[in-house]
Amino acid sequence: MNIGRKELESLSIGAEIIGSGGGGNTYPLKSVLRFYLERNRLPNFVDLEDIPDSSLVVGVAHLGAPMIIEEKLPQGNNLILSIKALESFIGEKTSAIIPIEGAGVNALVPLIAAINSNTPIIDGDGTGRAFPELSMTSFSINGISGAPLSISDDFGNVVVVEELQESLTDELVRGIALIFGGGAWVTAYPMTGQEVKKFCIRKTLSRNIEIGNVLSARSSPLDKIRELQERFGAKLIGEGFVKEIFRYREGKFSKGDLYIECYDNRFLKISYQNEYILITEQEKVIAGIPTIISLLNNKTLQPIRTDEISVDDEVFIITMPAPVELTSQKALKRVGPKAFGYDI
């Protein structure tokens, strides 16, 4: 797998689609990566099967408010501080890095980390979409601990956490990120090569590129949606305009409900908690997390995030199947609707 300018554009589009309304704006990090590509600094991808079973693989991500990245672009050396800190603590050099979440900005963060640390990157991740909590991964579902983990900021501050109760992982890391100014770089889920082969969601980044290629093609919006249906199992739930939005904050989540009046006279309610969580029609559930729910501008097919959707926006509502790794009963307890307070 190679990343050039065209692939980067497509990767960014696909990452926002599987971001399911969350994951942040990819444009700032895309600009950083363009800078590297123009100077022939490219990420080195490694085939999963070429990683020795006993080698060390770590997950990387940005955690905190995505707008922090928009306000201050990451510096490569600061970004890899958390990788080096975890390597130092474990006493072993990292053989490869893997995105913890291959959606939104976190599909691009590992590319910058790979370039600056000269560490190969795996085409896969632990989520196959965006989730609001660090512990919502295929790794944790299968018993891989997030700790030891390390957290760094853009000023050289680093925290290493040796052990951590899983239920506290997200709270602790977000708390440190808040102290660090609202966002932090995280290296977590140290695994063996054997474990990552067994528990990761494969080909997430290349799938993002394929989705982005479809949406950037020179064809009509409906033709593009038909191709998403044929190639990725997407469903067109409806087309209409946003009639009302109710937004509120509850705990660590930005929550809300959108009411969409469809052009075929149906009314849909879409609930979100950072990401789009649930689609209902007259109290009947149409789709729910971990299914990927995306709202697209009905002319440009640009994904519209939960933090930027507005009344009167005209949208297509589409869904895409969740990775199979997230559909078992064990996984749904962690990432299904009930984990977000919806008793369905």
Per-residue model confidence (pLDDT) at position 329: 96
Per-residue model confidence (pLDDT) at position 251: 78
> What secondary structure letter does DSSP report for 143?
T
Phi, psi of 208 (to 5 degrees): -60, -45
Give every CB contact of residue 220 below 8 A, 6+ residues apart in sequence: none
| Burial class (CB within 10 angstroms; exposed 0-12, middle 13-18, buried 19+) of 236 | middle
Per-residue model confidence (pLDDT) at position 301: 96
CB 262 within 8 A of CB 239: yes
Per-residue model confidence (pLDDT) at position 252: 75
Q: Which two tokens stand for residue 341?
A: 């307070």
Per-residue model confidence (pLDDT) at position 137: 98
Per-residue model confidence (pLDDT) at position 116: 93
Give every CB contact of residue 153 below 8 A, 6+ residues apart in sequence: 78, 180, 181, 183, 184, 185
User: Which of helix, strand or coil describes residue 179?
Assistant: helix
Per-residue model confidence (pLDDT) at position 237: 98
pLDDT tens digits in sequence order for the chain, 344 residues long: 889 999 999 999 999 999 999 999 999 999 999 999 999 999 999 999 999 999 999 999 999 877 777 777 776 677 799 999 999 999 999 999 999 999 999 999 999 999 999 999 999 999 999 999 999 999 999 999 999 999 999 889 999 999 988 888 889 999 999 999 888 999 999 999 999 999 999 999 999 999 999 999 989 999 999 999 999 999 999 999 999 999 998 877 889 999 999 999 999 999 999 999 999 999 999 999 999 999 999 999 999 999 999 999 999 999 999 999 999 999 999 999 999 999 88
Per-residue model confidence (pLDDT) at position 65: 75
Q: Write down the pTM of the prediction.
A: 0.95
Phi, psi of 143 (to 5 degrees): 90, 5
Per-residue model confidence (pLDDT) at position 66: 72
Per-residue model confidence (pLDDT) at position 90: 98
Distances (CA, A) of 163 to 60, 109, 127, 152, 170: 18, 25, 22, 17, 13
Helices and strands, number each (H, E), in the chain: 12, 16
Phi, psi of 170 (to 5 degrees): -65, -45
Per-residue model confidence (pLDDT) at position 71: 74
Per-residue model confidence (pLDDT) at position 293: 99
- Report CA Rg, the chain: 19
Q: CA-CA distance, 242 to 209, in Å (whole number)? A: 29
Per-residue model confidence (pLDDT) at position 64: 82
Per-residue model confidence (pLDDT) at position 250: 84
| SS (HEC) of 33-99 | HHHHHHCCCCCCEECHHHCCCCCEEEEEEEEECCHHHHHCCCCHHHHCHHHHHHHHHHCCCEEEEEE
Q: CA-CA distance, 109 to 10, in Å (whole number)? A: 16
DSSP per position, 306-343: TTT--TT-EEEEEEEPPPGGG-SHHHHHHHSGGGGT--
